[in-house]
């Protein structure tokens, strides 16, 4: 257990660095879960870093200050855009906003992530970053 803890300390917080930060809504539906999984996949591909939306929403200065210096990508599941609204409320500009239901992916109460839908979101986000 102690060895695992030391390995995590050596790796550092994944939300601490990187020029692009992905903030996902992670809501209680399929598109919320796709939002989170797409952000994870983008971070694994090295396109940016996953960042803590809850910390921004809680107005934690240690989260807001580093976010001010980076390009923020909000990935929302539906037209309510909670991620984007949280960033707006914190006074943080959103460089790119992706809304999954705008990609003709239907919102359902199921929590399963369809791999093909997730891939579409990842590709759409990468397109937006290139623009």
For 7-31, write each residue's pLDDT tens digit. Answer: 433 344 444 456 999 999 999 999 9
pLDDT over 60 (residue 125): yes
Cβ partners under 8 Å of residue 63, min gap 6: 15, 51, 52, 55, 56
What is the pTM for the complete model shown?
0.85
For 23-70, write each residue's pLDDT tens digit. Answer: 999 999 999 999 999 999 999 999 999 999 999 999 999 999 999 999
For 79-124, write each residue's pLDDT tens digit. Answer: 999 999 999 999 999 999 999 999 999 999 999 999 999 999 999 9
The correct CATH number of 15-130 out of 3.30.390, 1.20.1250, 1.25.40, 3.40.50 is 3.40.50
Strand order, beta sheet including 49-50: 49-50, 20-24, 71-76, 96-99
């Amino acid at each position: 257990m102690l060895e695992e803890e030391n390995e995590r300390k050596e790796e550092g917080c994944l939300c601490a660095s990187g020029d692009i930060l992905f903030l996902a809504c992670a809501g209680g539906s399929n598109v919320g879960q796709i939002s989170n999984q797409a952000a994870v996949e983008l971070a694994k591909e090295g396109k940016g870093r996953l960042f803590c939306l809850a910390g921004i929403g809680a107005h934690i200065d240690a989260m807001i200050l580093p976010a001010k210096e980076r390009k923020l990508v909000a990935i929302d599941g539906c037209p309510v855009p909670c991620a984007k609204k949280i960033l707006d409320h914190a006074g943080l500009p959103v460089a790119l906003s992706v809304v999954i239901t705008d990609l003709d992916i239907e919102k359902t109460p199921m929590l399963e992530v369809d791999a093909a839908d997730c891939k579409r979101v990842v590709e759409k986000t990468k397109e937006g970053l290139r623009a």
